[in-house]
């Protein structure tokens, strides 16, 4: 579960995989949902954390779950929500919205949960 620093969490996830651990799910919550914002462009030579997570997820076959309430409070809407509110879709693929129940289920099915 990532609540604050998607950059540090990505470095941790990469290191954990390199040491032979398995990552089964990633859940973005609080301010970390901003990584899923498709309306933030890559600027110059600065790394784009959303693109880095997208590439990592594709390489590892992971889904990137984003707390629906935290995302909506920050204007990061998926296609369905955007249409309902007549706003732009701001959820970047492969990020997808999920409820806290999904976090609970993933935690229950794992031998440990790490929060960043």
Residue reference for tokens 């040491």: 19
Is-contact 12 1, C-beta < 8 A? no
Phi first, then psi: what are they for 27, rounded to 5°? -125, 120
Q: Which residues are catalytic?
A: 67
């Amino acid at each position: 579960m990532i609540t604050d620093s998607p950059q540090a969490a990505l470095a941790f996830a990469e290191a954990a995989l390199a040491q032979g651990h398995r990552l089964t799910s990633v859940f973005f919550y609080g301010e970390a949902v901003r990584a899923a914002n498709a309306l933030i462009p890559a600027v110059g030579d600065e790394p784009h954390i959303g693109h880095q997570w997208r590439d990592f997820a594709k390489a590892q076959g992971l889904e990137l779950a984003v707390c629906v309430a935290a995302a909506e409070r920050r204007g990061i809407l998926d296609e369905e929500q955007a249409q309902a509110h007549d706003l732009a879709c701001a959820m970047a693929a492969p990020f997808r919205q999920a409820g806290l129940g999904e976090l609970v289920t993933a935690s229950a099915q794992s031998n440990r949960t790490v929060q960043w």
